[in-house]
A and B are shown apart, each in its own frame.
Chain A
Amino acid sequence: NAGVTQTPKFQVLKTGQSMTLQCAQDMNHNSMYWYRQDPGMGLRLIYYSASEGTTDKGEVPNGYNVSRLNKREFSLRLESAAPSQTSVYFCASGKGTISNQPQHFGDGTRLSIL
């Protein structure tokens, strides 16, 4: 049982390049999330999808777009990468719009933008 799978694991981009981070979950979860984790800042929510067909902004959405391709897959796109977007990106999934449910995380994509 793979859980939450993120690809790629590492990526180096040049400023201005675009890239899509992929995330897939096999737990039949309704909700999916994208976070970024920076030293000293903790996990910050970028975008989330409460259910298939819906997406909403989180705390730090600027510079990003998302697509909920189907129930399993939720992608994060950087249209024009900036050095400030150098970070570790985590995808997570959960059962949905029900309180007290834990989130299940992938192992992250380490993104460096030069």
Chain B
Amino acid sequence: SQKIEQNSEALNIQEGKTATLTCNYTNYSPAYLQWYRQDPGRGPVFLLLIRENEKEKRKERLKVTFDTTLKQSLFHITASQPADSATYLCALEVGGSYIPTFGRGTSLIVHP
């Protein structure tokens, strides 16, 4: 069966460090992978999209990698800040479907 796996345990890091979140998938061949941020009591907010033929994408302090061989995406936040504390969701989009399937999300807590 198709699965999207994100670490259910919260990631705790110190301010200024790089946070790395993982999204693994099985039995998918996604054309695109998206990352969203969700704050408590709010809806998800789109952050970044990476295509299957792209290895890496950057936006300010954010970096996403996409390894279709390992079936894994890594989401990095450099110089993390307490304001980065949130739940981060990955979403896969299989080519032609245009509707992403979401992972359960990983909570990030950045300590001052």
Give me the interface of B with A, judged by CB distance under 8 Å.
Answer: 4, 8, 31-32, 34, 41-46, 49, 51, 89, 93, 95-105
Contacts and interface: CB of A to CB of B under 8 A. Distances in A.
B105 A42 contact: yes
A102 B99 CA distance: 9
In the A-B complex, list the 8 residue pairs whose CB atoms are closest, starting with the nearest: A105-B43, A102-B46, A42-B104, A43-B102, A100-B32, A107-B43, A105-B44, A99-B98
A48 B104 contact: no
A40 B5 CA distance: 11
Contacts of B31: 99-100
Interface residues of A, number: 27
Contacts of B98: 31, 94, 96-99, 101
B91 to A, nearest CB: 8
28 contacts: A4-B43, A35-B102, A41-B104, A42-B89, A42-B103, A42-B105, A43-B44, A43-B102, A45-B99, A90-B43, A92-B43, A94-B98, A96-B98, A97-B98, A99-B31, A99-B96, A99-B97, A100-B32, A100-B51, A100-B93, A101-B98, A102-B34, A102-B46, A102-B49, A103-B100, A105-B44, A107-B41, A108-B42
A43 B105 CA distance: 9
Given A45-B101, A98-B98, A99-B95, 18 more contacts: A4-B43, A31-B98, A33-B99, A40-B8, A42-B103, A42-B105, A43-B102, A45-B99, A48-B99, A90-B44, A92-B43, A94-B98, A99-B31, A99-B96, A100-B31, A100-B51, A104-B46, A107-B42
